[in-house]
Amino acid sequence: MSSRIETFDLLRGYFLVAIILDHLAFYPNGLDWWTGRGQLYVSAAEGFFLISGIVLGIVRGSKLIDKPFRVVSSLLLKRAVQLYITAIVLMLFFTFVGWLFIDNPGLKAGIRLPSENVWDILKGAMTFEYIYGWADYLRLYAMFIFASPIAMWLLRRKLWYVVMAISIFIWTQYSNSTLDTAELSQVYSWQLIFFGGLTIGFHWNTIKRWWESLSNRIKKPVIISTVSLAAVTMVASFMLVHGEEFIGASGRFLTDINMIVNPMFNKEELPLVRVILFMIWFGASFWLFSRYEPQIKRWFGWLLLPFGHNSLYVYTMHAILVFFVHLAIKDPTSSWLLNLVLSIAGVMLVWLAVRYKILMKIIPR
């Protein structure tokens, strides 16, 4: 019997579907209310990263606690090298193919020009000073896993507070980053989510036993408060970001408020207020998926579980799909129904790739 925690797989699959829809960006499509077009104060990407850290903490941490550390570190470094190579190959692939479509208005911005020195481009890709394409978060994942043996060594010695102290300190250094762009500087901020997840995953069984030991008198108010607060803030975030579009000129004041509030939730910087809001939204999402797991599996398991089980493969395949789809169709259509069809078709193409294991032997799962 599999020892996987299917709540995480379902939730990760859910986040991946949202990421695909947001990157395709065929809006309006009738699903705007669900994904928020990727523009809300918290995105699906944070959830994807946190679960990746949690699962790694479980699979390479608590489940291998009786194995020698060299076994764990070897597995982690092997995975990191695999993802590092994949990230570089994808960046170069998108760049060289992009040169063939350099005048295409749907080509993703940020590509280095064919006139530039190829060796400089290669060096930039290898050092992650140059990032391009729709799978740029792979570089973050690769770098964090490279550093994870250190965190795992500390966790195995019950020094979880040292791991978190180091992670929090690095997170605070985002504003002091000497890297060229905010996107490159994400390596400082987003590691907090990953190593926070790694720490949670390493202690998952302990956390689970502690939660289950609490009485319903304690758990019920916590659950109700978290889910209610998440619902209210999700609606508020959607209305502030998209309210004027949906309710017309009378909602202009919402846009004005959003212009003031939005910078406080900067995605690259990952400020404290965004971290707190993410924790609330994720906590509510995890409870809902755990509480209604049988129903979710019955109706959507065919899609979410394959995505969750093969998350990095899905992320990679979606990047290739989105890149070429945008070359063919630059902007969303004027029909929300056609946009919906195109969006669903994109998700289903990735699902078919998983179903028939297209390139699965060479793309990390």
pLDDT digits 0-9 by tens, 277-287: 999 999 999 99
pLDDT of res. 3: 56
Which phi and psi angles does 195 have, rounded to 5°?
Answer: -75, -25
Alpha-carbon distance of 77 to 70, in angstroms, equals 10
Q: What is the pLDDT of residues 99-156, one digit of tens each?
A: 999 999 999 999 999 999 999 999 999 999 999 999 989 999 999 999 999 999 999 9
- Percent of residues, the chain, with pLDDT higher than 90: 92
Tell me: pLDDT of 291 over 60: yes
Q: Is the confidence at residue 253, as pLDDT, over 50?
A: yes
Mean pLDDT throughout 184-199? 97
Total structural domains within the chain: 1
- How far is the CA of 289 from the CAs of 90, 158, 292, in angstroms? 33, 30, 5
Work out the pLDDT band at 186, boundaries 50, 70, 90. Answer: very high
For residue 334, pLDDT beyond 60: yes
Query: Can you read off the two tokens belonging to residue 336?
Result: 């929300």
Question: Does 233 reside within a domain?
Answer: no
- Residue 362 forms part of a structural domain: no
Neighbours of 202 (CB within 10 A): 27
Residue 38 counted as domain residue:
yes
Q: Is residue 239 part of a domain?
A: no
* pLDDT tier at 250, thresholds 50, 70, 90: confident
pLDDT, averaged across the chain: 95
**pLDDT of 1:** 36
What is the value of pTM for the model shown? Answer: 0.95
Q: What's residue 365's pLDDT?
A: 86
Which domain, by its residues, includes 18?
A: 6-217+295-355
- pLDDT bracket for residue 208 (50, 70, 90): very high
pLDDT for position 2: 45
Examine residue 22 and state whether it is found in any structural domain, yes or no. Answer: yes
- pLDDT tens-digit map of 154-166: 999 999 999 999 9
In angstroms, the CA 55 to CA 245 distance is 39
Residue 210 pLDDT: 97
Given a contact cutoff of 8 angstroms between Cβ atoms, the answer to whether 19 and 45 are in contact is: yes
